Every structure is written in structure tokens, then in C-alpha cells.
A = this chain, B = another copy of it.
């Protein structure tokens, strides 16, 4: 994620940032310019169509459908943004559960039980890192800490990693209960936090694996394409070669909205707009180690 100061308007407007849609759409801008220049040249100079031509009125259609395309892009923007924001809320829930589990474990365990404190101090952040890498379909061994002075826990990379880590945390908690280190009432207090590990993982997988229904994705792209491509035919009569900057600007607006939506729909990657998952993970490690 890019950290930025939203109040620096001029930088925003004139700098073309790496993640800027202007950069990505630039080849299309060139292609569209050539395309509409050719149409303008053909209609105005080769065929010399009269400006009373019926072709001019095809732009009535663009007016009528302007509402629909706008509303559709807003629908697209809202759904993509909702996923992005729900992803953020899920990682926020993981932060809260990690902290609350650390706070509770620290308060519940007898003062002299440092070994089990150490277990949670290492394993809670490990879950966050394991989940992050699971969502990116990778496994980074160096990000997982070992528990000092204890046999390393076995994690099978071929299987579902976050599930195994959640299970190790739950098993250790049940062991503490069975051995009387925490009472039954205290165990009940830990339930929310223990559950939330698998819940956050499932919710993130859901966001990642379920893009907007295929038909909408196809439909919006087809709609933008034919809307923009048919535009020069009618507007050339009113605008002449000024059609070129107009088409480019309209395409910039419509395609940018679709492009940004595509990018933020899967918010767990490393794109410029994705969530700051790496920072959240290191914050969890920092704060849990302060607490335990």
C-alpha cells in the first residue's frame, strides 16, 4: 500500500505515479487516438458526409446509455471497494484477536509459567505471517519464528498452513486447561479469540477466491468497449478532430474505474493499492511481544 497525504493536490494531478491508471492505459490512448482520427478523416474528408447525416444522431444513444454505464461502474466500484474494506476489517479482527489473546494469556497464566507464554508470543505472530503467505500462495520459512528452547513444531507445507497453526494454538490451550493451568471459566473467555483465527482465514480466502460474477465482468467490459468505439461515428460531426482528446478522456475515466476495481478486488497481493498486510504482520509481532 502506498502511504500518501491526501491533501497534496498538485502532486496528485501532475505526477504520474507507478500505480496510476494513466500509465497503464497509455498504449490504449494512442490506439484510440489513431482509431478516432481515422474515422474523423474518413467521415469528414474522404466520404464528406453531411453534418445532417443520420449517423450524427447515433450520439443520442450515448446520451441515453450514459446513465446506465455510470451506474454500472459505480456498482463495480462499490463491490470492489467493499471487498477491499472487508479484507481490511478481517485483518483488523486478526490484530484485535492477537492482542486480546496475548493480554488474556498474560493475565491468566501463573506468573512462573514462562515456557507457555513464550509459545503464544511466537505462535500468534506466526499465524499472521502464515496467513499472509498462504493468501499469496507462497511459504516463507524465514518469517516463521521458532520457540526458543523448544522442539520446533512440525508444519506440513503441502497441507493448509494456517489451519495447522490455528490447531497448534488451540491444542496448547486445551492442554493448559487439562493440566489445570487455566480454569474452565477462563477457557470460555478464550473461545472468541481461538475461533477467530480460522474465521479470519476463511473470510480472506472467500474474498480472494470469489471475484465479481463472470457475467458482470464480461458485460461491463463489452459495454465499455462498444460504447467508446461507437462514439466517434456520431460525435465527429460536432467535434471534428477534437473527437480525439474527448474519446481519450472519456475512455480514461471509464476504463480507470474498471482497472482500479480489478486491482483492489483481490487486496492481499503486493500491488500498489493492496492492503498493508506486511506492516500489519510486523505490528502484530511487535505488539504481542510487548504484551507477553
Contact = CB atoms under 8 A, between A and B. Distances in A.
Nearest to A58: B242
A159 B64 CA distance: 53
Contact of A272 (B214, B226, B260): B214
Given A66-B64, A206-B92, A198 B54 contact: no
A275 B209 CA distance: 11
Contacts of A4: 211, 214, 217
A148 interface: no
Contacts of A134: none
A171 B54 contact: no
Interface residues of A, number: 125
B57 A238 contact: yes
Interface string A215-249: 11111011101100010000100111110001001
A50 interface: no
B60 A107 contact: no
A186 to B, nearest CB: 7
Nearest to A219: B256
A183 interface: yes
Interface of A: 1-2, 4, 6-7, 9, 12-13, 17, 19-22, 54-55, 57-68, 70-75, 77-79, 81, 84-85, 88-89, 92-93, 95-96, 99-100, 103-104, 106-108, 159-160, 163-164, 166-167, 170-171, 173-175, 177, 183-189, 191-192, 194-195, 198-199, 201-203, 205-206, 209-219, 221-223, 225-226, 230, 235, 238-242, 246, 249-250, 253-254, 256-257, 260, 262-265, 272-273, 275-276, 286-287, 290-291
